[in-house]
Structure 1
Amino acid sequence: MLAKRSATLPCRSAAAKPVVRVPASRGRLQVACSSHAKFFVGGNWKCNGSVASVRTLVDELNAGSVPKGVEVVCSPPYIYIDYVMQHLDAQKFALAAQNCWISGNGAFTGEVSAEQLADFGVPWVILGHSERRALCGETNEVVGKKSSHALAAGLGVIACVGETLEQRNGGAMWTVLDAQMKALVDEIKDWSKVVVAYEPVWAIGTGVVATPEQAQEVHARLRAFCAKHLGAAVADKLRIIYGGSVNDANCAELALQEDIDGFLVGGASLKGPAFIKICQSGAAKAQP
């Protein structure tokens, strides 16, 4: 059985409440839950920014206060990584790339390898984001192999999973999530540098956010899956973070859910003060 985090943060696994035509899953999820790892916030800047806007964003982030017990990474487009590395306060923020190649260096025009990222000093990479799955045709198996290779090269991996609205409405949500997780389990041997990001596709960039109960239900199910396939010790330490229109107005309530160990933030990560507030929402769970 997984240990409880605290008596003040009860595990909530009740059936979710519907929000904006997004139905709850069926039935109650009975699991023992909680992780005991440092709260984690990632800012995914996606394909956004200019020299001027990146400079402004970096200045805003540096001016903000981040709880010491919260781990924060920022993920700029490749072309701005060097500037961000040179100017972003490394005492508060680490860097993540938004993708990497499935294998090592070679004749792969347009790609960047995990080895190159590690060599340049980038410690994290986001893999399997729904936009890459949908727009670039990345399969579960590809995401699993990419994750395994990136870990072997020394990177930490933020591995994304999530269902579409059609899959949720059609009752296939758990089947889809289980398949995405199984592809990771089949390839990854050491989970100590893995963060799983649950990003319901219907909530990414839409302004529609899963209710805290909906998000907690899925996070608890993902942790139960890991406990079954990887063991309770791994599941207890695994950080499962939420992404999907997270902003400075809804982060506090989401952060209180027992199995939400942080956030992967899209649009709000481009606004320095808003992103800092999201980071601060993890203060209650901050660890040294």
Structure 2
Amino acid sequence: MSPPMQPLIVGNWKMNGLVAALGELWGMSQARPETEIWIAPPFTLIDRAVSLAAGRIAIGGQDCHHSTSGAHTGCISAAMLADSGAKFVITGHSERRTDNHETDAQVRAKTIAARAAGLTVIVCVGETEAQRDAGAHESTVTEQLDASLPDDLTDIIIAYEPVWAIGTGRTPTPEDVAAMHAHIRANLVARFGEAGQGARILYGGSVKPENAALLLGQPNVGGALVGGASLIATSLLAIAAAASA
């Protein structure tokens, strides 16, 4: 089990949120739960979100390019995120891996670029339903960790997201979550030693106020990467409260 630390709840808004959504962010920023709350809004809202959160909530990006600049239409560099006030970025999210065909090597390159820009990086790993049903869930996650992570864990957070539980309403059992987080912890310790023992591992996959306490109470779960439930302040704060209970 990793050393005790304050739970971290990260809200990934995905492709959701116009300016009016900042009212929800304001509500989140006014609470004082016994947790850290970070929010990754769409790129269009980062600058305004940083001003609104006023340091009470860390604001980050949902992805970045591995290059610092160049002819990459529609892409955002880690340096641009940092320049806008972002403090972290998510790399390797399953939707990026699937929809944009991102490889582990690309995730690793993005992660290295993000750290070079001064950002903390949340690196996502997780298996599909077919991989789990075939008994390949642990080997799949091991391969992703081995190829997606840089050579040290400085400013790295791991997020385990079973792909089959994202946005589906399906949720792994607490035993499933505990087993995979233990597997990830063992992998990190074997590769990085003490740094692996202290690394945060978040759980992401249909986290809701109703199941947060059970899921986040498992060993080696240091918080949550929350999707749809992070769009509403009362919902996210309920998850944050459950995590610190």
Could you say which TM-score interval applies, normalised by the shorter chain? over 0.9
1:38 is matched with 6
Q: What is the CA-CA distance between 1:149 and the residue it aligns to? A: 1.5
- Equivalent pair of 1:36/1:236 in contact (CA under 8 Å): no
- Equivalent pair of 1:127/1:147 in contact (CA under 8 Å): yes
Detail structure 1 runs of 4+ shifted over 3 Å in the superposition: 35-38
Give the residue type in structure 2 aligned to 1:65: R
SS of the equivalent of 2:121 reads strand
Give matches, 1:199-214, under 5 Å: 199-214=161-176
Q: What is the CA-CA distance between 1:235 and the residue it aligns to? A: 1.7
Give the residue type in structure 2 aligned to 1:268: A
1:51 is matched with 19
Q: What is the CA-CA distance between 1:89 and the residue it aligns to? A: 4.5
- Equivalent pair of 1:192/1:238 in contact (CA under 8 Å): no
SS of the equivalent of 1:264 reads strand
SS of the equivalent of 1:96 reads strand
Q: What is the CA-CA distance between 1:183 and the residue it aligns to? A: 0.8
1:90 is matched with 55
Task: Determine if the alignment matches structure 1 residue 189 to structure 2 residue 151.
Answer: yes
Following the alignment from structure 2 to structure 1, what is the Cα–Cα distance between the partners of residues 133 and 215? 23
Task: Determine if the alignment matches structure 1 residue 218 to structure 2 residue 218.
Answer: no
Task: Determine if the alignment matches structure 1 residue 170 to structure 2 residue 134.
Answer: yes
Q: What is the CA-CA distance between 1:55 and the residue it aligns to? A: 2.9
- Equivalent pair of 2:216/2:243 in contact (CA under 8 Å): yes
Give matches, 1:191-270, under 5 Å: 191-231=153-193, 233-270=194-231
Q: 1:268 to 1:62 in 2, by over 3 A?
A: same
Greater RCO structure (CA 8 Å; 6+ sep): 1
- Equivalent pair of 2:152/2:192 in contact (CA under 8 Å): no
2:91 is matched with 127
Q: What is the CA-CA distance between 1:64 and the residue it aligns to? A: 2.7
Following the alignment from structure 1 to structure 2, what is the Cα–Cα distance between the partners of residues 166 and 35? 33
Deviation digits for residues 3-56 of structure 1, max 9, x if unmatched? xxxxxxxxxxxxxxxxxxxxxxxxxxxxxx32444321100000012222x132
SS of the equivalent of 1:42 reads strand
Mark the structure with the bigger radius of gyration: 1
Q: Where is the helix percentage greater, Structure 1 or Structure 2?
A: 2
Following the alignment from structure 2 to structure 1, what is the Cα–Cα distance between the partners of residues 171 and 3? 23
Structure 2 runs not aligned, ≥5 long: none
- Equivalent pair of 1:143/1:184 in contact (CA under 8 Å): yes
- Equivalent pair of 2:25/2:49 in contact (CA under 8 Å): yes
TM value normalised by structure 1: 0.82
Give the residue type in structure 1 aligned to 2:244: A
- Equivalent pair of 1:35/1:261 in contact (CA under 8 Å): no
2:82 is matched with 118
Q: Which segment drifts farther, 149-158 or 217-226? A: 149-158
1:20 is matched with none
Deviation digits for residues 227-270 of structure 1, max 9, x if unmatched? 11111x11221000000000111001112111110000000001
Task: Determine if the alignment matches structure 1 residue 80 to structure 2 residue 45.
Answer: yes
SS of the equivalent of 1:202 reads helix
Give the residue type in structure 2 aligned to 1:193: D
1:108 is matched with 72
Task: Determine if the alignment matches structure 1 residue 154 to structure 2 residue 118.
Answer: yes
Following the alignment from structure 1 to structure 2, what is the Cα–Cα distance between the partners of residues 39 and 133? 26
Matched length:
245
Kindly report the root-mean-square deviation, in angstroms, between the aligned alpha carbons of the 2 structures. Answer: 1.4
